[in-house]
Structure 1
Amino acid sequence: MPTEPITIKTPRGHELAGSLELPTGLVRGAALFAHCFTCTKQSRAAVEVTRALARQGIATLRFDFTGLGGSGGDFGRAGFASDVEDLVASANHLCERFGGQILLVGHSLGGAAVLAAADMIGRDRVAAIATIGAPADVPHVLGNIKGDLAAIERDGEGEVTIGGREFQLSREFLHKTREIDLPEEVARLKLPILIAHSPTDQIVGIENAGQLFDAALHPKSFVSLAGADHLLTKPEDAHFIADMIAAWGARYIPMKSEWPMPEQGVVVCTGHGKFGTEVHTPSHRFIADEPRSYGGDDTGPTPYDLLNAALGTCTAMTMKMYAERKGLPFEGARVAVTHERNHAEDCDHCEGEDSQVQALHRVITLLGDDLTAEQRNKLIEIADKCPVHRTLEGRLHVHTKVGGE
């Protein structure tokens, strides 16, 4: 997906480093992702979920909390309250850029942070909230810190180890992390909530999900991540919850009514990235792109893929329609189509320097052992009469005019 670097200024004066995952096509809305305790925006969950949402047309920002990754500030003095402030600043950035309500998504302590931040962001600006492995008891995260917390309380600061990394923590960090009553915060929210949790989570037990779910008001949903670990280190677990949140979130960020869905033909809209476009038919929408080898993001079929598909699908449909009308023992077909741009070089009958003869190569495999040789030959003959085939080999003209005049 196209990724845009983002820098967000916080009220404390330092900058947060973010990555905005953009849809290849049009943007239907925006979402904000909060990473887990001492992780960064590059965690597997952060990358997978934000890109899955972008595939649904939802521009999604992941960023590093204060003092982590590429963000400024002092992590050791920040605490949970600072995470909430970071989320509010980031949410304001998204709302100002894209307008409308946004989706909040958080992993582990990031999940607790989005729940606590929702009121401060403003309920009129938040469409829904999803959490992954979030603790109901925020001070619970202090149990994952290796160090003398009592000495930090006494002396004001001290060195600790979190997830194998060394940090200098302050007394302020401990106090700010202990102050929040998350179930009480959740009980006040009147927003759709999805709570995802693994029953085998060894870091934040499944009972946390139960407490949050009980505190939440409807509409609320629960997704079990059976077999997953807390950090979603297995790709299949990260992919699963990413797609689940993307599908669920799209319910609360609906398609924009002003998007061009034509009465006939197609409308193609330029999108993000170098080549990304979004194609709208009267009842469908999909993405077209170029492969990475051509500088694209490879998020959809190429224009020539679509050209090949037009001939291949029309061929298959035409043969099936004929076979059903004639009662033939036809069990289907596979139609492979490739495009040859340099056909003119090998075409003996092409004359003149301006000749640009190209070729589509089609291989048709008929399925059905009971078809006779005569029936097979007739089906191949019919394939050459499909409407797209006739269009491509006919006298086709493209008429262009400037719209909006």
Structure 2
Amino acid sequence: MKQYDRRRGMRTLWLCIAVLALCAAGALALLLWKTPAARDEVIPGPRGDIYATVQMPNKLSRGDTVPLVVLCHGFTGNRDGDGHFGPLAEDLAEEGIASVRLDFAGCGDSTEPYTAYTLDNMAADVNAVIGYMKQEYNTRGATALVGHSMGGRLASLYPQISAQQGYEQVSALVLWSPANGTGLMGLEFLNIGDLAQVEAIASAALSSGQTATKWGVDISAEFVQGMQNSDPNAALREAGLPVLLTYSGNETVLSETTITETVATVQSLPESTVVLDPFVQGDHNYTSSDPAVNEQLDADLRQTTADFLYSVLR
């Protein structure tokens, strides 16, 4: 009887050890699969430091083919992206996609004056962070840009600029309410109710080198020239990349002409899609004063974007 009890005790002991081993393995697997915390980094840029936040996927998803998304904020914005960029970066990381979000010149933590905020400088900074991510994080899979408002205009133009400048290439674009009016129409957000005033602001910048705006920042002649000489929808047609386009329903800074022309452009592109219905209650920044609506807008924007990027990058 004692020998039987001893054997039963040994079996119980080994069972406990096995259970503990399985628990330890499970805990280790959870640690390995857990999405790493985002990291704020200072990236060397063509004019100095670029302040950015890097979000990598879990270790088991990393490798030579890990894809990358660059998140580009709008005029006077920052790498928070009106609260959308951080949660979106986490969503992408869970699907094995790395991301980097940056402050453009004069925005967020940038130490440059706002007059350095130009389309050419924005493109150069995007090129720099893509190269940095390849070198430091081995993100050598496909790369996409997500751009909101002026960041969306930059994203639309980037394939054209990269071809001209020999920059890093991208393979897909996501445009949230891009400011894609042709030429100076792209500046309509400076005073959507009076386009004559917009032309006056542009003229003042061109003649004086820079001028003030109602947004509390000075824009430079270089910024106005870049807008004047660019046609983002023509650039989209020329590139022919897969594009996801969204616009909100309560748009107050972009004209119906800009929206209609950009929607038509994206609808003409292969592997591209326009999504409008989930955002009819949102403003230009996909936000609402109603907390429940605000939460749903963010969830829909992130889900729509993540689904598209996963389909084109993996």
TM-score (norm 2): 0.72
SS across alignment from 2:117 = helix
The Cα offsets for residues 163-206 of structure 1, whole Å up to 9 and x where unpaired, read as xxx22333222222222111110111121111111233222245
Deviation at 1:247?
Answer: 1.3
SS across alignment from 1:98 = coil
**1:231 corresponds to 2:270:** no
Question: What's 2:152 paired with?
Answer: 111
**1:215 corresponds to 2:253:** no
Instruction: State whether residues 91 and 121 of structure 1, in contact with CA within 8 Å, keep that contact through their aligned partners in structure 2.
Output: no
**Structure number with higher strand proportion:** 1
Quick one: percent identity of the two aligned structures? 18
Amino acid at match of 1:115: S
| Relative contact order, higher structure (CA 8 A, sep 6+) | 2
SS across alignment from 2:253 = coil
The Cα offsets for residues 268-320 of structure 1, whole Å up to 9 and x where unpaired, read as xxxxxxxxxxxxxxxxxxxxxxxxxxxxxxxxxxxxxxxxxxxxxxxxxxxxx
Question: Within 5 A, what are the aligned runs for 1:231-310?
Answer: 231-233=285-287, 234-254=294-314
| The one of 45, 70, 74 aligned to 2:113 | 74
| The one of 161, 173, 195 aligned to 1:129 | 173
Question: What's 1:145 paired with?
Answer: 190
SS across alignment from 1:161 = coil
**1:62 corresponds to 2:107:** no
Question: What's 2:44 paired with?
Answer: 9
Deviation at 1:214?
Answer: 2.7
**Gap change, CA 1:243 and 1:206, over 3 Å in 2:** farther
**Gap change, CA 1:184 and 1:221, over 3 Å in 2:** same
Work out the CA distance in 1 between the residues paired with 2:45 and 2:38.
22
Question: What's 2:21 paired with?
Answer: none
**Gap change, CA 1:194 and 1:209, over 3 Å in 2:** farther
Work out the CA distance in 2 between the residues paired with 1:63 and 1:154.
31
Instruction: State whether residues 100 and 125 of structure 1, in contact with CA within 8 Å, keep that contact through their aligned partners in structure 2.
Output: no
Instruction: State whether residues 52 and 103 of structure 2, in contact with CA within 8 Å, keep that contact through their aligned partners in structure 1.
Output: yes
SS across alignment from 1:194 = strand
Amino acid at match of 2:262: L
Instruction: State whether residues 189 and 254 of structure 2, in contact with CA within 8 Å, keep that contact through their aligned partners in structure 1.
Output: no
**Gap change, CA 1:157 and 1:136, over 3 Å in 2:** closer
Work out the CA distance in 1 between the residues paired with 2:132 and 2:117.
21
Question: What's 1:37 paired with?
Answer: 75
**Gap change, CA 1:245 and 1:206, over 3 Å in 2:** farther
| The one of 12, 30, 53 aligned to 1:19 | 53
Looking at CA atoms only, which structure, 1 or 2, has the larger radius of gyration? 1
Q: Which moved more, 1:142-151 or 1:123-132?
A: 142-151
SS across alignment from 2:217 = strand
Unaligned runs of 5+ in 1: 255-405
Number of aligned positions between the proteins: 250
Instruction: State whether residues 65 and 71 of structure 1, in contact with CA within 8 Å, keep that contact through their aligned partners in structure 2.
Output: yes
Unaligned runs of 5+ in 2: 1-34, 192-196, 288-293
**Structure number with higher helix proportion:** 2
Question: What's 2:131 paired with?
Answer: 92
**Gap change, CA 1:243 and 1:73, over 3 Å in 2:** same
Work out the CA distance in 2 between the residues paired with 1:121 and 1:94.
17
Instruction: State whether residues 55 and 98 of structure 2, in contact with CA within 8 Å, keep that contact through their aligned partners in structure 1.
Output: yes
TM-score (norm 1): 0.57
